[in-house]
Structure 1
């Protein structure tokens, strides 16, 4: 599950939005456009936020997300994604009504760290604010409660920050609209109809998010429910954030392009009822210097509830467990000490390592960083490791910061570090396949 923080993520990069009018339907499946969280096309776009403010919000969300992981005939689908403040989202049609169109449209947060598909329903006793109104289940002719001994089956979902959603489980028709006007209908999707929802993170002004679409390991996730047709595979490719960030896609099944130069590493569950995707992080290299970090630093702790490393689209900046982060920071300080035009500063971005330089160079002369995963190296170019910010209106000076944060117990490979890689989650074969690519040109 994803927590409130997951929801917060929703506000930045961890929110995928299925945009109904930007999809491609063919005999093999469906393609939907992915809208970046900070794109003006996003319904949650905050045009008054400066680039620095967005980075600070990303830092805050990355730290919060550290406490987030939750407890408790289409052969291809490609889902368009959009983001609110922190999370990617999908826009879907749900239900069957005597209206045009014959469904109600809602934004759901996409979350790779949880598995339940749920949304707030009409009749909720404890509700968060949303536009449009909660789903009117009683008016949908395709709404079917899941019954146990002739009573609706209840569900309870709790997030580690204390947020909860409770209600009943049901089945409903979900609609995805293509950019060429085609409409795909997926029947009998199991979802949680939220009737008691304690999710403070969604109580912001003009909230348009109705719930979450989980893409995690468990049987309730959208990935598992769409079933064998998509072979348990989904994929995305995140471009570098710019003022003109291009569209990209969340893809399922046969529409995913595999390349010969791809690498793979195992993905794991922490335990039987775990939703997030874990990878085996074994070390870190800066340029060609392998850091003196014991692989045990990244292991699960003795009780099994802490430690490990997840890969999560909802965490903006990677979180690195404290001892490893300290060594990484020290090595980078050593690397930058060789450059005379650099001055170490605080940076005012809530990031731990920042330098000012006398002339703008963007990502030139900044090192690559490699995460050594089991069986494969995940190599990140400078634009996926740092954030570069203009220092003044004239931009005669600029500064850059390491776009990662320390964490007391766990590690996560965040969305900024995933940029310009095709990432393929193969849940059937339990592996993460990836290869470098310009996501602006090959979404």
Structure 2
């Protein structure tokens, strides 16, 4: 996502992440930074930049679980992501510009020590769209009405779309509205997934009444994680429908792969549907398999093991306008033929 920080506005890019809350960018002086194509933000050049101090009554350094007070009274942050990417730096306030709209005194992370798996992209950091106090969604709630929407294209060379506020209301024919559950202090958006189906075969998931939900919707996770027993059933069904011999993923991560040439030869994939409490969402065939390296296409659904949490990742959201409305705590899915044309 393209956005700008500071006065005058300094343009940069961040990966949008509905599964985390802190919005941060790499900052000078950089003790350890990953390569990025654009210049690194230097807070000395912004007239509106202000480091958050622990004794500043206008800034609550305990606003988020990743914030802490340093020995020199500076409010700092330390975030470690599931893929072991990590960022450490100062908490600050500055002007945030998105499109034509500017918002003053937004709490942001100025990262001085950063390690990221996404360092081969143009992104300089993360745009945190989760739902805890540090998220820009929570900070800008009055201005955007608790609404944002995105539409992911399956092609890496094609534009995707994101909007905030009244532009992010998702309605119309074929729109499916699923209830969201948010728990206090938790950045995650939880849904209840009753089952997954491949073709005519249905695979139920456990839903415990005491849980907020059983799957997180997360744009920052690049695969969909499901319980091993559900994945095994789905894998078997895929293999019945695809008349080619599976091959191994050289990285050993993906569990069902085929020759990319075979996948491009016009294979008709079975219909895959996520049956949520509230409605059904048919996953786009264009997000089901991805060429993970030259000649190897793999299913973008994998089993979870140590993590123990199901996650609806970005590939399972492609070709949909996905709208979050935190006034009614719901997420809407509307099919979109071309996400670049909004």
TM (norm. structure 2) is 0.78
Matched residue, 1:331: 237
Give 3-state SS (helix, strand or coil) of 1:343's partner. Answer: coil
**How far does the alpha carbon of each residue in 1:37-59 deviate from its partner, in whole angstroms, 9 at most, with x for none?**
xxxxxxxxxxxxxxxxxxxxxxx
**How far does the alpha carbon of each residue in 1:331-363 deviate from its partner, in whole angstroms, 9 at most, with x for none?**
333444xxxxx2323154653334569988755
User: Could you list the runs of 4 or more consecutive aligned residues of structure 1 that deviate by over 6 angstroms after TM superposition?
Assistant: 356-361
**How far does the alpha carbon of each residue in 1:256-302 deviate from its partner, in whole angstroms, 9 at most, with x for none?**
34214311112223x422212221111111223323x3x32x659x9
Quick check: 2:247–2:259 contact (8 Å CA) kept in 1?
no
Structure 2: distance between partners of 1:247 and 1:356: 27
Give the drift of 1:418. 1.3
Structure 2: distance between partners of 1:322 and 1:359: 26
Matched residue, 2:304: 407
Matched residue, 1:343: 244
Give the drift of 1:147. 4.0
Matched residue, 1:319: 225
Give the drift of 1:200. 2.6
Structure 2, gaps ≥5 residues long: 57-71
Matched, 1:145 2:51: yes
**How far does the alpha carbon of each residue in 1:364-414 deviate from its partner, in whole angstroms, 9 at most, with x for none?**
53211111111111112433333489x98xxxxxx9653321211222222
C-alpha RMSD of matched pairs (Å): 3.6
Question: Pick from 163, 167, 173: which aligns with 1:251?
Answer: 163
**Where do 1:29-428 residues align within 5 Å?**
92-96=3-7, 102-123=8-29, 126-130=31-35, 134-149=40-55, 153-159=74-80, 164-176=86-98, 183-195=100-112, 197=113, 199-201=114-116, 209-241=123-155, 245-256=157-168, 257-269=170-182, 271-291=183-203, 293=204, 295-296=205-206, 308-336=214-242, 342-346=243-247, 348=249, 351-354=254-257, 362-387=265-290, 401-408=298-305, 409-428=308-327
Structure 1: distance between partners of 2:263 and 2:79: 47
Quick check: 2:241–2:269 contact (8 Å CA) kept in 1?
no
Quick check: 2:320–2:339 contact (8 Å CA) kept in 1?
no
Structure 1: distance between partners of 2:124 and 2:297: 37
Quick check: 1:117–1:192 contact (8 Å CA) kept in 2?
yes
The verdict on how the C-alpha distance between 1:218 and 1:360 changes in structure 2, with shifts beyond 3 A counting, is closer
Structure 2: distance between partners of 1:358 and 1:435: 31
Give the drift of 1:423. 0.7
The alignment of Structure 1 onto Structure 2 pairs a total of residues equal to 320
TM (norm. structure 1) is 0.62
Structure 1, gaps ≥5 residues long: 1-16, 19-91, 97-101, 178-182, 337-341, 393-398
**How far does the alpha carbon of each residue in 1:396-437 deviate from its partner, in whole angstroms, 9 at most, with x for none?**
xxx965332121122222222212111111122211111222
Structure 1: distance between partners of 2:81 and 2:159: 33
